[in-house]
Structure 1
Amino acid sequence: MPHMTTGLFVGRFQPFHLGHLATVKFALKSVDDLVIVVGSAQKSHEQRNPFTAGERIAMIRAALKADDGVDMGRIMTIPVPDVDVHSLWTRQVDMLVPAYNIVFVNDPFTLFLFRERGVKTVEPPLQERSRLMATEVRRRMAEGEKWQELVPAAVAKAIEQIDGVERVKAVTQQDYHHHNHNHH
């Protein structure tokens, strides 16, 4: 019997969108178990990170549960906060997640950090689209455009339940004022 392989899928999932769902399915084809690492777990209520780790985990869980093509028994979701020293972040991941063989990640810097340590990495397909998509979801929310089609239905429902769009609008305004009125 070949040994079991475990993959990590690293992201911030602000919010979890259709590109992320596609990556989960892509990763499950090549590993037995998948650990979804929710990065910047300590952050929320800001423009790039509007949702809490708990909210993001709930969104991911809802989306995966609603999808017949995904076996929840093979998936774990673990929040990992940032650290002050970038090069130590992958060590922090090692401490907080089970042993893994391979990392799926789209963010170039995170990819670099794992590669620098000789960890096997895979850039999931649709890189450009999935890299830009969460930014686009947040932009559409902030500007009152239609965003629902970019995320699984279960995620749209979860965001509506927590008044997520209002929060995105509020933190976008707040960041805008913050950055534009602090010319001391």
Structure 2
Amino acid sequence: MKKYNNGLIVGRFQPFHLEHLRLAVAAAGRVKHLWVGITRPFGKCIPEIGGARAVDGANPLPYWLRYQCVECALINDAGFSPTSFSILPVPLVKEIIKQIVPRGTVFLTTIMEQWGVEKEELFRKSGLETIRMDLGAKTISGTMIRDKIAGRDQSWKDFVPKHMRERYASVIETYVLNSGDIILN
């Protein structure tokens, strides 16, 4: 299997969950450096593709929190070296994507639904080689987790990485339940 210099995975990570972690680990095995793009980083400020994924209710967690959750999970749950990956905002806009990722970066993705095909096409049109990875059936979704949080069902914590959960569960709950600003201690 060919190993690429730079590979990119993307997601809204609302919140980052175990299937996102599985994708990151699989993608990291194919590249020397993994770029993790957080989509919808600026809310409504930049119009992006994505249909229902683009509405505010589907995006309660701010960029800074998603960044910290991804970083925590990759280092503490997956054992990544901090120098083996970078996290960056990636609005789903072709002209912006071309400016954000290094030339020669490959886009690694899974196709679980029609949205994956649309996303893959966007990155292809942005000039990135795309590689489909088969990680099996989708069993977790951010919508499912947010619905559990909204229903005050604590089992949502079973679907996110352990160290991320220990550090950020209450912050995630606050944003999902209230969409309010809070200060991390």
TM-score for the superposition, normalised by structure 1: 0.76
Structure 1 spans left out of the alignment, 5+ residues: 83-88, 172-184
Cα pair distance change 1:37/1:18, threshold 3 Å: same
Q: Distance in 1 between matches of 2:16 and 2:98?
A: 23
Of 113, 124, 127 in structure 1, the residue corresponding to residue 122 of structure 2 is: 113
Q: Distance in 2 between matches of 1:13 and 1:73?
A: 21
Q: Distance in 2 between matches of 1:53 and 1:149?
A: 23
Report the Cα offset of residue 104 of structure 1: 1.6
Report the Cα offset of residue 105 of structure 1: 2.8
Of 80, 89, 95 in structure 2, the residue corresponding to residue 91 of structure 1 is: 95
Q: Distance in 2 between matches of 1:60 and 1:109?
A: 24
2:91 is matched with: 81
Q: After TM superposition, list the pairs within 5 Å mapping 1:143-162 onto structure 2.
A: 143-145=151-153, 146-162=155-171
Cα deviations across residues 59-102 of structure 1 (Å, max 9, x unaligned)?
A: 011111213542321100001235xxxxxx13312212323431
Report the Cα offset of residue 120 of structure 1: 1.9
Q: Distance in 2 between matches of 1:128 and 1:91?
A: 32
Contact 2:12 2:39 in 1 (8 A): yes
Q: Distance in 2 between matches of 1:117 and 1:80?
A: 12
2:28 equivalent to 1:28: yes
SS of 1:35's equivalent?
Answer: strand
Contact 1:25 1:69 in 2 (8 A): no
Cα pair distance change 1:3/1:134, threshold 3 Å: closer
Q: Distance in 2 between matches of 1:158 and 1:9?
A: 23
Structure 2 spans left out of the alignment, 5+ residues: 45-54, 111-115, 180-185
Structure 2 counterpart of 1:15, one-letter code = P
Contact 1:8 1:100 in 2 (8 A): no
Structure 2 counterpart of 1:81, one-letter code = P
Of 67, 78, 82 in structure 2, the residue corresponding to residue 57 of structure 1 is: 67
Structure 2 counterpart of 1:166, one-letter code = T
TM-score for the superposition, normalised by structure 2: 0.76
Aligned length: 162
Report the Cα offset of residue 142 of structure 1: 1.1
Cα pair distance change 1:4/1:160, threshold 3 Å: closer
Cα pair distance change 1:102/1:138, threshold 3 Å: same
Cα deviations across residues 129-164 of structure 1 (Å, max 9, x unaligned)?
A: 16x5212111111111210010001221233342x2
Contact 1:7 1:102 in 2 (8 A): yes
Q: Distance in 2 between matches of 1:77 and 1:40?
A: 14
Give the structure with the larger helix fraction: 1
Cα pair distance change 1:39/1:95, threshold 3 Å: same
Percent identical: 25
Larger Rg: 1
Q: Distance in 2 between matches of 1:154 and 1:63?
A: 6
